[in-house]
């Protein structure tokens, strides 16, 4: 019995050693793929193309566009040629990014689109791309499948480096703590990295409610200032704020169009915080703001919330407040008797209510037209009207 057991162990060890020895001997060997077999068959035939389609891309599948401006667009033609003896079928596959698109004679191609190319014929595909990445290097590709047994996949690649043609000195223009009765000025540097002189050909304020209180002018930047920033030139944008905006935070955007071809508009946020004798305070009111965030409200229960309007300064006692309107209809505002618990401050409670059974609706913004609003009328000489945005959702 022991002899049989020992023999079995020896047999198992021998098999393992044989398998390992064979693996070591042939570990670098691989079974030939379909593509390799096709190439070998063509070689054995004396270099004569095999009986079937054969794809080549004239000029290669890789295009180096060199250096391009960030935000610009470009395109390149890739020419597929069938040097085989039978029709070549190519099918559009995946692209690595939505910033790349394929087209044929101006007509866009989508995944699954097919094209047949006869022997000796060619087919041109245009790869278009837009550079939106913030990275220095840009690389994207588009893939095609084919019926060529040597190359069942052809991948077109474009790559290069990106630079900023137009660079903003700051991401935002900010006016902080400006009294409602005063004007103010802020500046923004706009740098150019092209040899061509930068010009702002058009500017548009995107919020109509506050655009009349703002004025933008543009002057060429000195060469010394541009050089200190490592730029070739630039423009200084000067934004003038006029008196009259309501107390609190006003948000605006200015869109700038330049004379540079292929460059998307530069959109600059403008943030304005106006201070004065009238301020809104209380829970759900952001510091320095005049907006109230109620959040999500259950339609079955509704919500009641109180904030406080603080009036100080020389016109405190003679300033009267009344509710002019509240929007939408499901939003209600009631002024309660003033409180005198804080010295030199008239404190007026404002009860805000969204009653049970209010209509469903989303008033969370971000656009001002899609928020609730409470409009107050005052007798203060500097603040004839106070607008309180109210953000809420009834569900």
Q: What is the pLDDT of residues 300-328, one digit of tens each?
A: 999 999 999 999 999 999 999 999 999 99
* Sign of the Cα pseudo-torsion (227, 228, 231, 237, in order): negative
Residue 46 binned pLDDT confidence (cut-offs 50, 70, 90): very low
Is there a cis peptide before residue 345, judged by omega within 30 degrees of 0? no
pLDDT value at position 370? Answer: 83
Q: What is the pLDDT of residues 81-116, one digit of tens each?
A: 999 999 999 998 888 776 666 777 677 888 888 999
End-to-end Cα, the chain, rounded Å: 82
225 three-state secondary structure: helix
Q: Is the pLDDT of residue 220 over 90?
A: yes
The C-alpha angle 370, 376, 382, rounded to 5 degrees, equals 115
* Residue 377 near residue 309, CB atoms below 8 Å: no
pLDDT value at position 44? Answer: 44
pTM: predicted TM-score of the whole model, two decimal places = 0.54
Q: What is the pLDDT of residues 263-302, one digit of tens each?
A: 889 999 999 988 889 989 999 997 777 899 999 999 999 9
Q: Cα–Cα distance between 151 and 36 in angstroms, integer?
A: 10
Instruction: Please name which of 271, 267, 282 lies closest in space to residue 245, comparing C-alpha atoms.
Output: 271
pLDDT value at position 233? Answer: 93
pLDDT value at position 384? Answer: 87
Domains and CATH numbers, the chain: 38-163 (2.60.40.10), 166-275 (2.60.40.10), 278-394 (2.60.40.10)
Residue 66 binned pLDDT confidence (cut-offs 50, 70, 90): confident
Residue count of the chain, please give it: 395
Q: Is the pLDDT of residue 27 over 50?
A: no
Per-residue DSSP letter, 221: P
Lowest mean pLDDT among 41-45, 169-173, 241-245: 41-45
Q: What is the pLDDT of residues 366-375, one digit of tens each?
A: 754 589 999 9
Q: What is the pLDDT of residues 2-11, one digit of tens each?
A: 555 555 555 5
- When comparing pLDDT for 376 and 31, which is higher? 376
pLDDT value at position 57? Answer: 94
């Amino acid at each position: 019995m022991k002899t049989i057991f020992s023999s079995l162990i020896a047999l198992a060890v021998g098999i393992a050693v044989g398998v390992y020895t064979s693996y070591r001997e042939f570990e670098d060997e691989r079974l030939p793929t379909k593509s390799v077999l096709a190439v070998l068959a063509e070689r054995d035939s004396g270099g004569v193309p095999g009986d079937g389609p054969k794809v080549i891309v004239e000029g290669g599948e890789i295009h180096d566009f060199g250096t391009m401006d960030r935000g610009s667009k470009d395109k390149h033609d890739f020419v597929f040629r069938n040097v085989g003896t039978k029709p070549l079928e190519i099918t559009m596959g995946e692209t690595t990014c939505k910033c790349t698109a394929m087209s044929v004679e101006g007509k866009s191609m989508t995944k699954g689109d097919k094209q047949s190319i006869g022997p000796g014929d060619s087919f041109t595909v245009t790869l278009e791309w837009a550079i939106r990445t913030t990275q220095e290097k840009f690389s994207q590709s588009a893939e095609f499948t084919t019926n060529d047994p040597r190359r069942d996949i052809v991948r077109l690649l474009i790559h290069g480096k990106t630079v900023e043609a137009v660079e903003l000195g700051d991401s935002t223009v900010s006016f902080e703590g400006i009294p409602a009765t005063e004007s103010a000025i802020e500046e923004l540097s706009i740098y150019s990295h092209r040899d061509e002189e930068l010009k702002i050909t058009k500017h548009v304020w995107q919020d109509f409610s506050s655009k009349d209180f703002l004025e933008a002018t543009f002057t060429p930047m000195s060469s010394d200032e541009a050089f200190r920033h490592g730029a070739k030139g630039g423009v200084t944008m000067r934004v003038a704020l006029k008196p009259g905006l309501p107390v609190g935070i006003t948000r605006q955007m200015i869109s700038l169009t330049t004379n540079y071809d292929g460059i998307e508009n530069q959109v600059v946020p403008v943030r304005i915080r106006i201070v004065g004798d009238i301020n809104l305070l209380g829970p759900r009111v952001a510091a320095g703001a005049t907006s109230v965030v109620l959040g999500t409200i259950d339609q079955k229960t509704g919500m009641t919330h109180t904030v406080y309007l603080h009036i100080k300064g020389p016109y405190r006692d003679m300033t009267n407040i009344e509710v002019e309107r509240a929007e939408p209809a499901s939003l209600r505002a009631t002024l309660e008797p003033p409180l005198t618990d804080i010295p030199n401050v008239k404190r007026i409670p404002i009860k805000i209510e969204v009653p049970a059974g209010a209509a469903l609706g989303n008033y969370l913004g971000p656009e001002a037209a899609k928020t609730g609003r409470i409009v107050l009328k005052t007798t203060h000489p500097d603040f004839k009207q106070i607008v309180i945005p109210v953000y809420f959702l009834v569900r």
